[in-house]
Chains A and B, each alone.
Chain A
Amino acid sequence: MTDHHESNTGPAECGPSQPDRRTFMATAAGVTAALVAPGVIMHSVAGPRTEAVTSDVRWGLLVDTAKCADGCSACIEACDRENGLDLQTQPSGAQPTRWENQKSVWIRKVKLQDNQTGRVTNLPLMCQHCEHPPCVDVCPTGASFKRADGIVLVDRHTCIGCRYCMMACPYKARSFVHEVMSNQLTRVPRGKGCVESCTLCVHRRDYGEESTACVDACQAAGHEAIIFGDLKDPESPIRMRLAELASRQIREDLALNTGVRYAGF
């Protein structure tokens, strides 16, 4: 179309106007790129996510158990505050011990003892964000799913509270909400009848924030036992540390390829 149109116009007119138009287009393209590019970059780094997550990244944690202190529960408390778990209230008439076992917990502090040597290891145990999650395999409604960036989540809209995933999880990482909730946080909806577990602070991921609540708290407590990062980026701090430190997956025998790795035991 354009060629045809141009061939119709006289060569005298066309000759001088062509370079002008080209320079104008080049300038315009340059200006547009300069205006748009910083916006695009800013969007992908910070601010609310505008495009769906991809498998270009895989989020994970590395826990150095040698640095994890006995009796410290900074990560658990930070997780409770971040995700509104501290807003759970004991229902009237419930036995306190029973309530302790029943309320939702995302991180458990586990103490391991080697009975032959007596060596004690402390570690925080949360959802391991498996590459092949058993909870996703067994979910009858598709509520339990793995997000493209490796985070294993529960879609509470589709969860029917059957608790198959809790049975399937080898890490006892999931909790069931037994009671009617009120005063939820905007960033973490929660209600009776759904299963939930660690989300790797998914709201922080989506708003482009660094790190997770537990990692920040561990650092603030001076232990720096947990590192958060992208397992697919060879340059990321977590990958550098994984390269130099002997690390394990818990229940390696299940071949789940967990996103949470442990070192020092």
Chain B
Amino acid sequence: MAKAVVRAGLVAVGLAWALIAQVALAAEMKTYVVAGSQAATLDSCVEPTDIMRRKHMEFIQHQRDKTVHGGIRSSKHSLSGCVDCHVRDEPDGEAVPIHQKQEFCGACHAFTAVNLNCFDCHAAVPKGPGAALASKAAYQAVGLEQSPRAVSDGKEH
């Protein structure tokens, strides 16, 4: 009888621990936004985080057709906007390609083992004079006046 009580008690303690561990995990849910990127300074992405995690690929897939066929460059779901906001600069000012394993896109795609081939063709860092235009358009689409990155670039040069 006493043995059964002890066993039940142990099971209860085990269950309780498991529950606490779950809650703790949920509370400090891993974020892939890298420190040093513009995204880290902003409150939210272009959509709520849970929706972005599930649907970002659909957003950029629909947006790409509008851009390639319709020439619309003012969408908030713009890949160059993603890159501009989420890319991290090295201390020497050089941006780190966003699909590298420790970076915003690369880290999560490596963890989930989902092949990421956007950057076979697309620039993985903002590059060229067109990058500032593209990022400005993306920031404007969510109501921010201008890309903080573009502003800081302007001051440096």
Residues of A within 8 A of B (CB): 47-53, 84, 145, 147-149, 153, 155-157, 180-181, 183-192, 194, 202-203, 205-207
Q: B130: nearest residue on chain A (CB-CB)?
A: A187
A191 touches B70 (CB 8 A): no
Q: B122: nearest residue on chain A (CB-CB)?
A: A189
Known: A186-B134, A194-B121. A52 touches B71 (CB 8 A): yes
Residues of B within 8 A of A (CB): 64-74, 80, 83, 120-123, 126-131, 133-134, 136-137, 140
B131 touches A52 (CB 8 A): no
B74 touches A49 (CB 8 A): yes
B71 touches A49 (CB 8 A): yes
The one of A52, A157, A185, A192 in contact with B130, judged by C-beta atoms closer than 8 angstroms, is A185
A187 touches B68 (CB 8 A): no
Contacts of B136 in A (CB 8 A): 48
A213 smallest CB distance to B (angstroms): 11
Q: Please name the 10 residue pairs, one residue from A and one from B, whose CB atoms are nearest each other, closest first.
A: A187-B130, A52-B70, A191-B121, A185-B128, A48-B137, A186-B131, A48-B73, A189-B121, A48-B74, A191-B120
Complex alpha-carbon distance, A176 and B141, angstroms = 34
Contacts of B120 in A (CB 8 A): 180-181, 191-192
B71 touches A147 (CB 8 A): yes
Contacts of A189 in B (CB 8 A): 121-123
